[in-house]
Amino acid sequence: MNRHFALATLFASTLAFAAPAQAVTEIQWWHAMSGGNNDIVNKLAADFNASQSDYKVVPTFKGAYPDTMNAGIAAFRAGTSPHILQVFEVGTATMMSAKGAIKPVYQLMKDAGEPFDPNAYLPAITGYYSTSKGEMLSFPFNSSSMVMWVNLDALKKADIAEIPKTWPEVFDSAKKLKAAGYTTCGFSNAWATWANIEQFSAWHNVPIGSKANGLDGFDTVLQFNTPLHVKHLQTLTELVKDKTYDYSGRANASEARFGSGECPLFLTSSGYYATAKSTAKFAFTSAPMPYYPEAKGAPQNSIIGGASLWVMGGKKPDEYKGVAKFFAFLSDTDRQAKLHQESGYLPITKAAYEKTKASGFYEKNPTLETPLKELTNKEPTENSRGLRFGNMVQLRDIWSEEIEAALGGQKTAQQALDAAVTRGNAMLRTFEKTVK
Amino acid sequence: MEKTAIFGNKALPYALLLPQLVITLVFFYWPASQAVWQSFLREDAFGLNSDFVGLENYQALFAQPEYYKSMITTLVFSSLVAALSLAIALLFATQADKNLKAAPVFKVMMIWPYAVAPAVAGVLWLFMFHPTLGTLARPMRVLGFNWNPLLDGNHAMALIVMAAVWKQIAYNFLFFLAGLQSIPRSVLEAGAIDGAGPLRRFWTITFPLLSPTTFFLLVVNVVYVFFDTFGIIDAVTGGGPAGSTTTMVYKVYADGRLGGDLGGSAAQSVVLMVIVIALTAIQFRYVERKVQY
């Protein structure tokens, strides 16, 4: 008797919940934003859902970047992919080569009849996610770049008057800092390959690979074993011996070395801002990445990191209309400006950047403008527009291995970079065959 | 009525076996055959393009010097982990087997690491020995020992061996303790009366009587280091520095799961499967002869 009643209630309540759910179209959004970023994502979805009544964006946290991407791929293979999938920048080539699995954003906006002007977005950001014809394939969401975090108190202690701008100045400062008591780490960086290969190449206007770093085709060949690259790595291998330079690993687990005051000069993502602000007990700022003055045209411009939103293929037109409306909602100038100022992400549109600038925000928060200045330092060239290599996650592992071999003294810088290029090219050829 | 142990029904034994057979087919033979089939394909991550390439994945694999390096790494890693975790667990088990008041507490404390997930075990050790964040690594560096698993391959290897051994000791301990407790006291007492010292009693009575347990654990431990340790490696070293902690199973995981190279990863797992089958066969053919049941 009781059980029947419970079942009946359950049935009735399911109906009650199901009925209004059918009236709105649900948009599934899988993302990799944890902690405070997760709150931002949830708030964006809630604001959008409150702004209209036809669509409902449902955000779901799926783990770290690689986990989210793998979950999306697995779901696609099982026929249950979400509408929107957040993919980190190194997954771009894999996503864009998956024709049929994704719906290009420019196509989506055109089909849905939503206002969309690709020129409204920061070219340094959209270049990464566009074809060589300028068609935007994914929607930029959270972007960052690499900057040098500077412990101002330490510089004072070591009697260094100015923040070092070039690499020789950084080496020199690191030696002074070591003498001033920072014995275990003069300078360091997170993201070994992002700092020493990817950003380094773009910043010095030298190629990472042919075909505009792979943006113009998958038949690209790696080229980062130039004398400039070798010189840089060679210098690091010499400085690592007495810890003027100290190695901090492949990813960003060691970022805390800056906040704890151990490493007074530290290159990592501009997205480190919030953490630095809450942990560092000293005056700090961010500065542009250093460069070699003899490199022609350096500094050029930096490239972005972070993630973008990909729209998965095979969905209903009405659902795509909702996704397009959501993207239009995200592009709104006020919303972008606020998002940028609160989260520390880069603004994705020019208007949001201008608005923030005009409000005098950067005078009070100069650290937040450094990555923007780097990205827009010069008109991007073939070497600094971005990069797009297949199997990029694996490529990074190979490159890290070779950098570690050089820093550990098992190989010379030249040997390590040659091996990184050769092994990477073999991987690129495999990828090329899978997507032909 | 005639009583008999022989079933007249011919189909019944098969019917009784069926669930077991179905489970084996579904959960072992089917995935294994899928891995073999996948190793002959070249496929993109989304499964949109799939080409039959024959043995190309295997050729590419055996052309990589890194693959041979990962074999050597696996050999070093697995022998260290199996030998250390068995030896230490046996030592602890013999101690716990003594008539101590604190023995139950000791046993419980010994067992709990088994309940820790491999990745969590890895993170625990990382917290202690990360070169800059580690609670034990900093004092080591202050004392002048240049502990640096981020660049020194031997240090990194030592770190994952410690984590993997720590994780496995509990399991080995349990079996050794059960084995020890099943050894008849009378035999040991007879040995003592005949004048054999504790060490002699251990090597001539206890250890031979433990040999079935030891053999079972050897097989299980080898399978453990071959298949279950990638979580630890991923959390602690990520296969680095310079590939010096990339074991074969970690390479399968990294290339397939992280890198999206399904064909190459499948080829590696087939090679790994063949090696483990061969190892197990050798163990049963040669080592088992020394086992006294």
Question: What are the pLDDT tens digits along chain A (436 aa)?
Answer: 455 544 454 444 444 444 444 578 999 999 988 777 788 889 999 999 999 999 999 999 998 887 898 889 889 988 899 999 999 888 888 888 888 889 999 999 999 888 888 888 888 788 788 887 888 999 998 888 999 999 999 999 999 999 999 999 999 999 999 999 998 899 999 999 999 999 999 999 999 999 999 888 889 999 999 999 999 999 999 999 999 999 988 887 788 889 999 999 999 988 788 778 888 999 999 999 999 999 988 899 999 888 999 999 989 999 999 999 999 999 999 988 888 887 778 888 999 999 999 999 999 888 889 999 998 899 889 999 888 898 888 888 889 999 999 999 999 999 999 999 999 998 899 888 887 6
Question: Chain B within 8 Å of A256 (Cβ-Cβ)?
Answer: yes
Q: What pLDDT is stored for residue A12 in this prediction? A: 47
Instruction: Determine the pLDDT at residue A407.
Output: 95
Taking only residues 324 to 353 of chain A, the set having a beta carbon closer than 8 angstroms to any beta carbon of chain B reads none
Please state whether the peptide bond connecting residue A299 to the residue before it is cis, i.e. omega within 30 degrees of 0. Answer: yes
Mean pLDDT along residues B76-90: 94
Is residue A146 within 8 Å of A199, Cβ to Cβ?
yes
B54 touches chain A (CB under 8 A): no
Does pLDDT of B39 surpass 70? yes
Nearest to A70 among B153, B240, B257 (CB): B257
Q: What was the pLDDT predicted at B172?
A: 93
Angle at A127 between CA A125 and CA A131, to 5 degrees: 140
Residues 47..106 of A with a Cβ closer than 8 Å to B: which?
66, 70, 73, 76-77, 94, 97-101
Domain A25-144+304-372 shares a fold with domain A146-301+389-435: yes
Strand ranges across the sheet with A284-287: A187-189, A265-269, A146-151, A284-287
Using the Cα atoms of residue B184, residue B190, residue B192 and residue B196 in order, give the sign of their dihedral: negative
3-state helix, strand, coil in chain A (%, to 5): 55, 15, 35
Q: How many angstroms away from the CA of B61 is the closest CA of chain A?
A: 11
Domain A25-144+304-372: CATH class, spelled out? alpha beta
B97: amino acid identity, one letter: D
In terms of pTM, does the model score above 0.90?
no
CB proximity list for A148: less than 8 A, separation 6 or greater: A170, A265, A266, A267, A286, A287, A288, A289, A290
Partners of residue A394 in chain B, C-beta under 8 Å: 254-255, 258-261
pLDDT of residue A338: 84
Is 0.90 exceeded by the ipTM?
Answer: no
Comparing alpha-carbon positions, the chain B residue that sits nearest to A404 is B242
- Domain borders along chain A are 25-144+304-372, 146-301+389-435
- Paired residues of A307 in beta bridges: A88, A142
Q: What count of other Cβ atoms lies within 10 Å of the Cβ of residue B47? A: 15
B144 touching chain A per CB within 8 A: no
pLDDT at A58: 95
pLDDT for the residue numbered B173 = 92
Nearest CB partner across the interface for A391, out of B60, B152, B261? B261
**How far off is chain B from A254, nearest CA to CA, in Å?**
8
- Residue B261 and residue A391 in contact, taking contact as beta carbons nearer than 8 Å: yes
Task: Please name the residues in contact with A150: beta carbons below 8 A apart, sequence gap of 6 or more.
Answer: A163, A264, A265, A284, A285, A286, A287
Q: Which of B34, B53, B132, B157 to mutate to test binding with chain A, by most A CBs within 10 Å of its CB? A: B132
More confident residue, B134 or B270: B270
B46–A76: do the CB atoms touch at under 8 Å?
yes
CB distance B46–A249 less than 8 Å?
A: no
B114/B167 Cα distance (integer angstroms): 6
Q: Does B45 touch chain A (CB under 8 A)?
A: yes
Q: Is the peptide bond before B19 cis (omega within 30 degrees of 0)?
A: no
For residue B49, the tally of other CB atoms under 10 A from its CB is 16
Burial B177-203 (b: 16+ CB within 10 A, else e): bebbeeeeeeebeebeeeebeeeebbe
For residue B110, give the nearest of B168, B178, B173, B162 by alpha carbon: B173
CB contact under 8 A, A430 and B153: no
Contacts of B87 (CB under 8 A, 6+ apart): none
Question: What is each CA distance from A137 to A87, A97, A131, in whole angstroms?
Answer: 12, 11, 7
Measured distance CA(A151)–CA(A176) in Å, rounded: 14
- Is 3.40.190.10 the CATH number for A146-301+389-435? yes
Contact A101, A313 (CB under 8 A): yes
Task: Give, rounded to a whole angstrom, the gap between the first and last alpha carbons of chain B.
Answer: 40
Residue A98 has φ and ψ, to the nearest 5°, of -85, 65
A13 interfaces chain B, CB cutoff of 8 Å? no
Question: Looking at residues B83-108, what average pLDDT do you find?
Answer: 86
Inform me whether the C-beta atom of residue B239 falls under 8 Å from chain A C-beta atoms. yes
For residue B278, the distance in angstroms to the closest alpha carbon of chain A comes to 30
Choose among A98, A100, A397: nearest Cβ to B254. A397
Choose the mutation target among A246, A404, A407 for the interface with B, i.e. most B CBs under 10 Å. Answer: A404
User: Worst-scoring range by mean pLDDT, A173-177, A284-288, B80-84, B205-209?
Assistant: B205-209
**Residue numbers in B near A240 (CB within 8 A):** 151
pLDDT at A238: 96
**C-alpha to C-alpha distance for B13 and B109, rounded to whole angstroms:** 44
pLDDT, position A65: 83
